[in-house]
Amino acid sequence: FGSSPTRPKLEPIHGGLVRRPPCTMAAQGTVKSYNASKGWGFLEYEGQDVFVHVKDCGGAAPSPGDALTFDIEQDPVRGGQMKAIN
């Protein structure tokens, strides 16, 4: 491990829990929609739509129906909406 912390990227869930660092608060949701040509889409998390961008997916684009583990934060661009990160 280097001197600067690294943050895990979105990871598919395959019938089990995904190991994450203890300091990371992970949420789990399902890809509701994803537009590969635009590089963004939405996850469903606890009945809410959560924005996701390909740059936060570790280089792999999600597909509708994929179950993902992610961190969640307020989206600074889309006021009042949530954004998936990591």
Average pLDDT in the chain:
78
- Statement: residue 31 has pLDDT above 90: yes
Question: At which residue do the structure tokens 């399902």 appear?
Answer: 30
Q: Which two tokens stand for residue 45?
A: 């998390």
Please tell me the predicted confidence (pLDDT) of residue 26: 79
Q: How confident is the model at residue 29 (pLDDT cuts 50, 70, 90)?
A: very high
Q: How does pLDDT run across 32-48, given as a tens digit for each residue?
A: 999 999 999 999 999 99
**Residue 9: CB partners within 8 Å, gap ≥ 6?**
56, 57, 58, 59, 86
The one-letter amino acid code at 61 reads: A
Give pTM, 2 decimals. Answer: 0.67
Please tell me the predicted confidence (pLDDT) of residue 6: 47
